[in-house]
Amino acid sequence: MPELPEVEVVRRQLESHIVGATIQNIWIGRDDIVRQGLGSLPWYTGAQLIDVQRQGKSLSMVCQQGGERRYLVAELGMTGLLLFDRRLVPSEKHLHMTIHLSNSQQGALHYWNARRFGRLYLFDETEWEAYRQRRFGVDPLTVSEEVFLRLIKGCRGRVKALLLNQQRIAGIGNIYANEMLFRAGIHPDAQGNRLSKKRIQLLFEEMQKVLTDAIHRGGSSIRDYLSPDGRRGQFQNYHQVYQKKGQPCPHGCPTSIRRLVSERSSFFCPTCQKR
Which residues are marked as active site? 2-3, 57, 264
CB neighbour class for 107 (10 Å; exposed up to 12, middle 13-18, buried from 19)? middle
DSSP labels, 20-79 = TPEEEEEEES-GGGEEE-GGGGGGGTT-EEEEEEEETTEEEEEEEETTEEEEEEEE-TTT
Q: Cα separations (Å) of 183 from 142, 230, 242, 249? A: 20, 30, 12, 11
Dist. CA 170–CA 211, nearest whole Å: 12
CA dist 73 and 82 (Å) reads 12
CB-based burial label for 103 (10 Å; 0-12, 13-18, 19+): exposed
Q: In what order do the strands lie in the sheet with 108-112?
A: 34-36, 119-124, 68-75, 58-65, 48-55, 22-28, 95-102, 108-112, 81-83
Given a contact cutoff of 8 angstroms between Cβ atoms, the answer to whether 129 and 121 are in contact is no
- Cα 13 from Cα 228, distance rounded (Å): 7
* Cβ neighbourhood burial of 92 (10 Å; 0-12, 13-18, 19+): exposed
Question: In angstroms, rounded to a whole number, what is the distance separating the alpha carbons of residues 249 and 267?
Answer: 11
Q: Classify residue 134 by its DSSP letter.
A: H
